[in-house]
Structure 1
Amino acid sequence: MSRLKRICIYPKDVQRITGRSERYGRKLLQQIRRHFEKDQHQFVTIKEFSEYTGINEAEIEQYILD
């Protein structure tokens, strides 16, 4: 049975991917929410993060999977 993949991205993930601070990750995710006209409580998906940053989804998944 294959393991389910996570679809949401969190500030700690952004920190791992970019090498920047977790605070930068929170700010970037907020910018992405505004870009996609999401509410504060809504999650940012890997697909949205990929589209916004131009980083390939497969590369992102390598950083967020255990």
Structure 2
Amino acid sequence: MPRICLYPKDVATLTGRSYDAAKRLLRRARQAAGKPQGALVTVQDFCAYTGLDTVEVSAALNRK
């Protein structure tokens, strides 16, 4: 089953940022999507905020 939610470790791997910077980026993406604190951030939310391609991020996230 493909993953659709992102966690700080995923963002750190995708962007090459540190774990703490990835947490901040994920927090800003959550706020931009209008989600409450603690809500999960989807690939679509993250890509809309960062401008990254949804297909590429999904492929990188679901690669094994």
Which TM-score band (shorter chain)? Answer: 0.7 to 0.9
Bigger Rg, structure 1 or 2: 1
How far does the alpha carbon of each residue in 1:12-51 deviate from its partner, in whole angstroms, 9 at most, with x for none? 1111111010111110111111111211110000011111
Q: Which runs of 5+ in 2 are unaligned?
A: none
SS in 2 for 1:52: helix
Match of 1:30 in 2: 27
| Superposition map of 1:5-44 within 5 A | 5-44=2-41
Q: TM-score, normalised by structure 1?
A: 0.86
Following TM superposition, where does structure 1 have runs of at least 4 consecutive aligned residues deviating by more than 6 angstroms? Answer: none
Give the count of matched residue pairs.
63
Q: Give yes or no for the alignment of 1:64 onto 2:43.
A: no
Q: Which runs of 5+ in 1 are unaligned?
A: none
Determine what percentage of the aligned residue pairs are the same residue: 38
- Give the Cα–Cα distance (whole angstroms) in 2 for the partners of residues 56 and 14 of structure 1: 14
